[in-house]
């Protein structure tokens, strides 16, 4: 295959290609190494960690829906110390840039955890999961502009690591939230987290999920996610990592053309463990057949300004 | 653990037995060669978005020489209906073998207490124990005679097969746990596996906690991936906070380690 440059830059960090896992949807371990090596990815990321251990939600935690699934996992984690000791060194050794996804239950926790992660010296980017199900102060962190700005600017003022704000799409206008994150000093955006929804188990005549509501992901939400990225690209200068139903190269290219500098694969890793590899290869084939030298030439092309 | 693969595979044969349960024999050589008792596969027979996720199935038997393995599907929902309707020669997508293998075969006598779809889960174990010349006593339970699952296979791989039906249409008229209790009293078994009934699981856990036998449960979970990514198949730990994942920590668990509903 003809060589094209697949590398992109997110907040000053070079990704060898624009495809990475979405947080919480891909484990780096022996099983996955059998399929393809995660060292081939554009970046690697952990399942969101909190400062302290959390058990996660009671089952049922997932529920299949047309072209997607609801999840209410509740972010189980062993806490920051365990992550730093056990998992982070494994991610660091792989080669691609390491993004660490964190969430806080309080403002103090956001700050303490950010500093703790930076101190390891093993991290390239910090992703703030601002759309976690555990609410603080009565509202989710990224569904209200002022709260979002407050968290992002607090973290940005304490750490030197570039900060990615991962946004919830359940807002009046996501472009406003993208702007707020940029104003607060975010170096990049991850767009979008899942859409809140629910399903009813008609046999049990009860909500299908133990948590009642869950986050909808998968190809079902892709047009919504592409629109979110497109609209944010119009108003911010910081790079965007696009996600929401990426199942292969066609979906990934939609996001890139809409303005994402990279894409993340979530649910489809469950269905086809080769999805990310296929996506990287398919983007490369597309670039060759369309006569581009670099993936960077197609970012945002759908806006017709290039 | 054997390295799992994700492959396109061919449906070699299908057979419905009893009504509502469909056995699929699938050709995928590496899975057939490396699978061991306790392990499962994720199977998808569609490119559609509805259903979209693969479905987990215990490996009923694997034949390394022929390069095939068998699963047994209880037809319940959209996914199982589609899989059960596939014709010979159809393409499937399979990931496996997944989950932890059973490693404890050094038992004086093993009892298998099973019902419904759970009957299929223990066949591979029964075959392995039989090959190792370890005694196997199977208690196969169903609501009625025509609902007994994997009867012929379990008969082949058991020293004794006991049947219990709720309505007395065949074998013991009553609860399969009565037969298990008798086997334990007679000193024939020190290890018991169960699958397919919460009632059986609760009974076995009580025996395990009382130190009467080593009890093991084949659990199912609400699995999206089968390999630790989605964290869907959580089962509560006994006596401590948190959850196991059926796909990574199981699917076979020591009964005293998990909360049984």
Q: What is the pLDDT of residues B179-213, one digit of tens each?
A: 999 999 999 999 999 999 999 999 999 999 999 99
Question: Is the pTM for the entire model greater than 0.90?
Answer: yes
pLDDT of residue A187: 98
Regarding whether B93 and B27 lie in a shared domain, the answer is yes
Q: Is residue B237 part of a domain?
A: no
pLDDT of residue A156: 98
Q: What's the structural domain count of chain B?
A: 2
Residue B46 maps to which CATH number? 2.40.30.10
For residue B165, name the pLDDT band (cuts at 50, 70, 90).
very high
For chain B, positions 6-45, list CB contacts with chain A under 8 A: 6, 44
Task: Inspect the interface and report whether the beta carbons of B229 and A25 lie closer than 8 Å.
Answer: yes
Q: Is residue B186 part of a domain?
A: yes
| Residues 6+ positions from B246 with CB-CB distance below 8 Å | B99, B219, B220, B221, B223, B233, B234, B235
User: From the CA of A158, how many Å to the nearest CA of chain B?
Assistant: 32
Q: Is residue B235 part of a domain?
A: no
Q: Which residues of B touch A72 (CB under 8 A)?
A: none
Regarding whether B174 and B88 lie in a shared domain, the answer is no
Q: Is residue B120 part of a domain?
A: yes
**Domain boundary residue, one of B34, B66, B98:** B98
Other CB atoms within a 10 A radius of the CB of residue B202 amount to 14
Regarding whether B144 and B79 lie in a shared domain, the answer is no
Domain, as residue range, for B145: 110-218
Chain A touched by B88 (CB under 8 Å):
no
pLDDT of residue B1: 55
Chain B touched by A201 (CB under 8 Å):
no
User: From the CA of B35, how many Å to the nearest CA of chain A?
Assistant: 15
Regarding whether B63 and B159 lie in a shared domain, the answer is no
Regarding whether B88 and B114 lie in a shared domain, the answer is no
For residue A2, name the pLDDT band (cuts at 50, 70, 90).
low
Regarding whether B193 and B163 lie in a shared domain, the answer is yes
Regarding whether B189 and B115 lie in a shared domain, the answer is yes
Q: Is residue B258 part of a domain?
A: no
| Residue B11 pLDDT exceeds 50 | yes
Regarding whether B77 and B114 lie in a shared domain, the answer is no
User: From the CA of B121, how many Å to the nearest CA of chain A?
Assistant: 22
Q: Is residue B172 part of a domain?
A: yes
Residues of A involved in catalysis: 132
Q: What is the pLDDT of residues A56-98, one digit of tens each?
A: 999 999 999 999 999 999 899 999 999 999 999 999 999 999 9
For residue B87, name the pLDDT band (cuts at 50, 70, 90).
very high
pLDDT of residue B176: 97
Regarding whether B148 and B70 lie in a shared domain, the answer is no
Q: Is residue B255 part of a domain?
A: no
Domain definitions of chain A by residue range: 8-300
Q: Architecture of A8-300 per CATH?
A: Alpha-Beta Barrel (3.20)
DSSP β-ladder status, B172-173 and B160-165? parallel
Residue B161 maps to which CATH number? 3.40.50.80
Q: What is the pLDDT of residues B101-145, one digit of tens each?
A: 998 888 899 999 999 999 999 999 999 999 999 999 999 999 999
pLDDT of residue A138: 44
For chain B, positions 122-161, list CB contacts with chain A under 8 A: none
Distances (CA, A) of A88 to A46, A68, A101, A165: 8, 30, 11, 20
Regarding whether B73 and B13 lie in a shared domain, the answer is yes
Task: Inspect the interface and report whether the beta carbons of B228 and A29 lie closer than 8 Å.
Answer: yes
Q: Is residue B254 part of a domain?
A: no
């Amino acid at each position: 295959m003809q060589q094209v440059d697949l590398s992109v830059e997110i907040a000053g960090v070079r990704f060898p290609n624009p495809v990475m896992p979405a947080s919480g949807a891909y484990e780096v371990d022996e099983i996955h190494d059998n399929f393809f090596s995660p060292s081939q990815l554009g970046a690697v990321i952990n399942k969101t960690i909190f400062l302290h251990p959390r058990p996660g939600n009671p089952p049922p935690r997932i529920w299949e829906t047309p072209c997607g699934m609801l999840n209410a996992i509740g972010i189980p984690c062993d806490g920051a110390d365990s992550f730093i000791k056990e998992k982070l060194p494994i991610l660091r050794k792989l080669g691609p840039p390491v993004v660490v996804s964190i969430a806080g239950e309080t403002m103090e926790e956001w700050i303490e955890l950010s500093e703790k992660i930076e101190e390891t010296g093993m991290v390239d980017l910090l992703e703030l999961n601002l759309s976690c199900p555990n609410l603080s102060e009565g509202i989710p962190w990224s569904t209200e502009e002022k709260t979002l700005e407050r968290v992002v600017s607090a973290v940005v003022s304490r750490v030197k690591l570039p900060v990615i704000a991962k946004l919830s799409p359940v807002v009046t206008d996501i472009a406003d939230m993208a702007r707020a994150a940029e104003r607060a000093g975010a170096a990049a955006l991850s767009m979008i987290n899942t859409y809140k929804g629910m399903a009813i188990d008609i046999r049990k005549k009860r909500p299908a999920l133990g948590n009642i509501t869950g986050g909808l992901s998968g190809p079902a939400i892709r047009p919504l996610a592409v629109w979110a990225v497109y609209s944010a690209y119009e108003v911010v200068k910081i790079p965007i990592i696009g996600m929401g139903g990426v199942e292969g190269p066609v979906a990934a290219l939609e996001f890139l053309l809409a303005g994402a500098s990279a894409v993340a694969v979530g649910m489809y890793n469950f269905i086809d463990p080769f999805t990310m590899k296929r996506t990287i290869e398919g983007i490369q084939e597309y670039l060759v057949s369309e006569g581009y030298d670099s993936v960077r030439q197609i970012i945002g092309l759908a806006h017709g300004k290039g | 653990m054997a390295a799992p693969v994700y492959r396109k595979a061919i449906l070699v044969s299908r057979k419905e037995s009893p009504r509502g349960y469909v056995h699929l024999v699938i050709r995928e050589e590496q899975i057939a060669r490396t699978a061991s008792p306790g392990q499962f596969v994720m199977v998808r027979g569609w490119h559609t978005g509805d259903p979209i996720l693969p479905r987990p199935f215990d490996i009923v038997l694997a034949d390394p020489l022929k390069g095939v393995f068998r699963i047994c599907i209880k037809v319940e929902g959209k996914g199982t209906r589609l899989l059960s309707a596939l014709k010979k020669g159809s393409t499937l997508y399979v990931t496996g073998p997944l989950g932890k293998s059973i490693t404890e075969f050094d038992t004086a006598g093993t009892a298998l207490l099973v019902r419904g779809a759970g009957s299929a889960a223990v066949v591979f174990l029964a075959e392995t124990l039989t090959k190792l010349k370890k005694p196997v006593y199977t208690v196969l339970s169903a609501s009625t005679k025509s609902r007994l699952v994997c009867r012929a296979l379990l008969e082949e791989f058991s020293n004794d097969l006991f049947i219990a039906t709720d309505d007395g249409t065949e074998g013991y008229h009553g609860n399969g746990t009565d037969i298990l209790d008798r086997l334990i009293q007679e000193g024939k078994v020190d290890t018991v596996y169960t699958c397919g009934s919460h009632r059986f699981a609760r009974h076995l856990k009580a025996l395990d906690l009382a130190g009467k036998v080593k009890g093991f449960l084949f659990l199912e979970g609400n699995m999206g991936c089968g390999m630790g990514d989605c964290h869907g198949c959580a089962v509560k730990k006994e006596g401590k906070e948190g959850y196991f994942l059926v796909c990574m920590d199981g699917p076979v668990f020591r009964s005293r380690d998990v909360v049984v509903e």
